[in-house]
Amino acid sequence: MEFIQFHPTSLYSPGENPSFLVSEAVRGAGAVLKNLFGDEFMHKYDERGSLAPRDIVARAIDNEMKLYGHDYVYLDCRHIDLDFFKAHFPNIYDKCLSKGIDITKDMIPVVPAAHYVCGGVRVDMNGCSSIINLYAAGECSCTGLHGANRLASNSLLEAVVYGHRAAMHAIEAVKTQDIKNEIPDWDSHGTAAPEEMILIVQSQRELQSIMSNYVGIVRSNIRLKRAFDRLEIIYDENERLYDKTTLSVRLCELRNLITVAYLIIKMAMARKESRGLHYSLTYPKHSIYQD
């Protein structure tokens, strides 16, 4: 679970997670990153400016936000031909309009977003993981088709090709499987509905904050150690809650998120270099951007 991918520009909406990705192709089409003062800043970090690779762009945005205490930066598309933009990025155009952003007059507020599970599950040529009958395809898989700076084209290849190969393999594999039908129903004896759902909700928020702030775009040994220590507290609290609480989707989701976070942090702590998206302040001199 050591790989982590960044999408440099995700639409920022106050009070919401940055879940809508603004394609890197928008930068390729001429969009320019600017701070809240309206000044271009990417030239300070890379001679390619807003066309720099996603790892450099993500770290530059992160640094600009921390430098001035801002919650986001801008992606300026106002100079791009409107017909061209609507033809090539119709979903982005519509999403911006739904948020009251007219790209001909307004700049798009963006923040870096991280895909934490990107490239984490090692698979074979059929998408099979080391766990029998468990397949992985797309961003969650580690196929060897990308390096430390995977781009969207590689993701598409993995999702389509490996998704298809996994499906074809599963169709044949299921024919030889012995299906267990005598599995008993879940025994919830001795448990009760959670008295306060806020306990689960708050733990999830804390987990999201830990991963974003300490295991996100810029890491260090100190940040990873702090993340690990905080995660242990959440793990202990959640296990006690799990033992006495009636099973629910939210509780299982939180338990799984904690497990995945643990694996990511452990693998990040084991890495002793900066390579592409895996950037650590502790090992900056080992950085290799072209991978």
* Torsion of Cα atoms, 27 then 138 then 117 then 121, to 10°: -140
Residue with tokens 């599995």: 183
DSSP secondary structure string for all residues of 62-122: HHHHHHHT-S-EEEE-TTS-HHHHHHH-HHHHHHHHHTT--TTTSPEEEEEEEETTTT-EE
Q: Catalytic: 54? A: yes
Q: What single-letter amino acid sits at 274?
A: S
DSSP 8-state secondary structure symbol assigned to residue 33: E
Residue 251 neighbours by CB distance under 10 Å? 19
Catalytic-labelled residue, pool 54, 59, 219, 230: 54
Residues acting as catalytic residues: 54
